[in-house]
Structure 1
Amino acid sequence: MGDENPIRTLGDYSRPNHEGYRNTIELPEGNNVVLLRSDTIRLVQNGCSFHRLRSEDPNQHLKDFLKLVDSLDLDVANREITHLRLFQFSLRDQASNWLERLPAWSISIWEDLTTRFLAQFFPP
């Protein structure tokens, strides 16, 4: 029987550890994988970024994001997956931190992501 709690040295705690890092967005498995090109990601990053500034409107960000992504020549059958995959690249600074702090794989559909986004950032 192995030791369930092995002795760790101080050096063990000082090394970077990638365990526990998981994406917040859970994408469906199967043949419907949407390949994203780096220029598409850059277009989203430069075309519609949301930082969580007081002057930014989260509703307008969603509209701008959808307008930009839907104008691309992407696979229409996998539109929701494309929205899920690209949305994280539109968030910056505090908004990006918010998404990363959500539980791993806690979002699997576009409606859930937009509902949580608006609940978090809609101005009072």
Structure 2
Amino acid sequence: MDDEPMWAADRVVTPTPGSAITIPETTNEFAIKSDHLTIVKGNQFDGKTKTDPHKHIHKFLRIYVMFKYRDTENEAVRLMMFPLSLTGEAKTWLDELNEGTIETWDELQTAFISRFFPLTFFDRILGEI
């Protein structure tokens, strides 16, 4: 069991020290099911130019609504699981944010979209149309 990847078995999720995301206090410890981790990790966003962060958030939320963790705040689960949906440049971006930068799901979405779909990119696309 010790040699299995993190997503191969149910694990208790705890906040990472020094994380940019501050996880709200939960009333109980819970384990994210391995099949949920597999689904999230199977739909990762890499941050490359041709990938759409809006679609990634939409897909992540469609996957997330399938999960139910009794007695645990939905926002806490989303904040814990979203980093697992990132890889490459997107993962590096999140890892390099200052500790405690993000406290809510709305802040995470805003920061993510701002980084990977900046207004200058939007203006350029609008100009091309």
Name the TM-score, length of structure 2 as normaliser: 0.71
Residues in 1 aligned to 2:90 and 2:24: alpha-carbon distance in whole angstroms:
24
The 1:75–1:122 alpha-carbon spacing in structure 2 relative to 1, beyond 3 Å, is farther
Identify the residue that residue 93 of structure 1 maps to in structure 2. Answer: 88
Number of residues of Structure 1 aligned to a counterpart in Structure 2: 103
Q: Is the 8 A contact 2:28 2:71 kept in 1?
A: no
- Bigger Cα Rg: 1
Output aligned runs, 1:1-124, within 5 Å: 22-46=18-42, 48-75=43-70, 78-122=73-117, 124=121
Residue 106 of structure 1: how far off its partner (Å): 1.4
Residue 52 of structure 1: how far off its partner (Å): 0.9
The 1:120–1:76 alpha-carbon spacing in structure 2 relative to 1, beyond 3 Å, is farther
Residue 39 of structure 1: how far off its partner (Å): 2.7
The 1:31–1:76 alpha-carbon spacing in structure 2 relative to 1, beyond 3 Å, is closer
The unaligned stretches of length 5 or more in structure 2 are 1-16, 122-129
Residues in 1 aligned to 2:27 and 2:46: alpha-carbon distance in whole angstroms:
33
Name the TM-score, length of structure 1 as normaliser: 0.74
The unaligned stretches of length 5 or more in structure 1 are 1-20
What is the identity, as a one-letter code, of the residue corresponding to 1:79?
N
% identity of equivalent residues: 29
Q: Is the 8 A contact 2:46 2:89 kept in 1?
A: yes
Residues in 1 aligned to 2:106 and 2:36: alpha-carbon distance in whole angstroms:
22
Q: Is the 8 A contact 1:27 1:81 kept in 2?
A: yes
Residues in 2 aligned to 1:75 and 1:63: alpha-carbon distance in whole angstroms:
23
What is the identity, as a one-letter code, of the residue corresponding to 2:110?
T
Q: Is the 8 A contact 1:51 1:93 kept in 2?
A: yes
Q: Deviations over 1:67-110 (max 9, x none)?
A: 00112233486111111000000000100000000011211100
The structure whose RCO (Cα within 8 Å, separation 6+) is larger is 1
Residues in 2 aligned to 1:79 and 1:32: alpha-carbon distance in whole angstroms:
13
Residue 37 of structure 1: how far off its partner (Å): 2.5
